[in-house]
Amino acid sequence: MKPVIRMFFKTVRVVLGPFVLLGDRLIRPKGIVRPSAEQQAIDARTQHLALYHFPPCPFCLKTRRTIRRLSLRIETCDAKNDPAHRAALIAGGGKPHVPCLRIT
């Protein structure tokens, strides 16, 4: 029974994933407009951050939308399609769980 349930949810993810990504592309939040000096100070604070994500993951989508809405410049690393980023995520955390914020 367990393999059937896993296969069902994998099928749902494969079918709905492109629609989730399309919705994200069509409905993007507008970022906060800040004075230049304030934005540069925030950029300096966030330059050491990297977000590991899977593109169609709903939790990652919510995190990326919040980053856009707050006008933060955080590097995003696709841990699903890029083996180097996936290996770095596993080396840093032990498991490929996303979203994961790396602070250096």
pLDDT value at residue 1: 79
Would you call 6 helix, strand, or coil by DSSP?
Answer: helix
pLDDT-derived band of residue 47, with 50, 70 and 90 as boundaries? very high
pLDDT averaged over the chain?
Answer: 93
pLDDT value at residue 98: 93
Judge whether residue 68 has pLDDT over 90.
yes
CATH numbers and ranges of domains, the chain: 48-104 (3.40.30.10)
Judge whether residue 38 has pLDDT over 90.
yes
Q: How many whole angstroms from its chain centre is CA 75? A: 10
Going by the DSSP 8-state scheme, the letter that residue 35 receives in this structure is -
pLDDT tens for residues 73-91?
A: 999 999 999 999 999 999 9
Residue 93 to residue 104: CA distance in whole angstroms:
14
Q: 75 pairs with which residues across the strands?
A: 50
Instruction: Check: pTM over 0.75? Answer yes or no.
Output: yes
